[in-house]
Amino acid sequence: MTKLSPKQEAIAEFFAHRSDDISRAAELLASDRYHEEGWLVTSCHIAALASSRYPDSPDRLAFTTFVRTYTREPTFWSQIDLLFFYQLSRSKFRDNRTYANFEPYPEIIRCLERHYGEQAAANPNPRFVPFEEILGRIEEARIPIPEGRNLRDWLGLFTIVEQLYRYVRSGSVHEWHFPFVTCLRQADGSTRFEPNHIITAERLIGEARALNTNLAEECAAKSLWPQAL
């Protein structure tokens, strides 16, 4: 067995500690009493890994880039949520400068409604549609995109990984808001939580573990700290 260098041992210890931290977050998620805290803590662990890998990037960009790069489910996280897309004008992001003022939006909506129907997005299937399929529909319709605007980047704002950041990471930290679970009050005064979205507690903690493992493996293979990759 090859002996690890002091640097390699330090890197391995770093990720082992992070793995322990994620396991403790899993215990919170498994608890009805601290379930919401589990969502917050788990998303913060993902954000911390992202920040260590992309220290010079803004929080949102580091987070979404990290998940897209190190996930084992890239197809899942790149899906577009048609419900989110359709209801942008009624969402809390309607005035967000990142989303607002994309001139072709109304025409794109009409294009997608021809394929998926006005009510289809409220149905779990086809609520979530592969990114490339949506992109292909729009390109096929030859909808003009203003110069200087990037359709692929803008569509990325409606992907599941973007929701993971905006509703889970940012929503829990800044608003103590957990829209992807429904809190049910029981007759005995206790509470339990049920998922109402494709991002579940099980998927969240599984993703956190996988991201930590994948980054650890790359760091070990290259004998580099995350920020030096």
Let me know whether 98 and 66 are in one domain. Answer: no
CA-CA-CA-CA torsion for 95, 127, 116, 118, nearest 10 degrees? -50
Residue 61 has a pLDDT of 97
Q: What is the DSSP string of 171-182?
A: HHHHH---TTEE
Task: Kindly state whether residues 69 and 174 are assigned to the same domain.
Answer: yes
Q: In this predicted model, what pLDDT tens digit does every residue of 176-228 receive, in sequence order? A: 999 999 999 887 778 899 999 999 999 999 999 999 999 999 999 999 999 99
Tell whether 163 is covered by a domain.
no
Using pLDDT thresholds of 50, 70 and 90, give the confidence band for residue 127: confident
Domain boundary among 105, 127, 158: 158
Provide the token pair at 41: 């803590």
pLDDT in tens, 65-122: 999 999 999 999 999 999 899 888 888 888 888 887 889 999 999 999 888 887 655 6
Count how many Cα atoms sit within 13 Å of the Cα of residue 82 in the half-sphere of its side chain.
25
Q: Are residues 144 and 31 in the same domain?
A: no
What is the residue range of 85's domain? 79-158
Give the end of a domain, one of 100, 126, 158: 158
pLDDT band at 17; cut points 50, 70, 90: very high
pLDDT band at 149 (very low <50, low <70, confident <90, very high): confident
Domain stop point among 126, 158, 190: 158
Query: What are 39-76's pLDDT values in tens digits?
Result: 999 999 999 999 999 999 999 999 999 999 999 999 99
Q: How many domains does the chain have?
A: 2
What is the pTM assigned to this prediction?
0.92
Q: What angle do CA 145, 150, 154 make, to 5 degrees?
A: 100
Q: Do 176 and 137 lie in a common domain?
A: no
Is 129 part of any domain? yes
Does 164 fall in a domain?
Answer: no
**In terms of Cα–Cα distance, which of 176, 149, 201 is closest to 192?**
201
Domain shared by 150 and 198, yes or no? no
Task: Report the pLDDT value the prediction gives residue 9, as an integer from 0 to 100.
Answer: 94
State how far the alpha carbon of 116 is from the alpha carbons of 87, 102, 119, 146, 222, in Å. 14, 21, 8, 25, 46
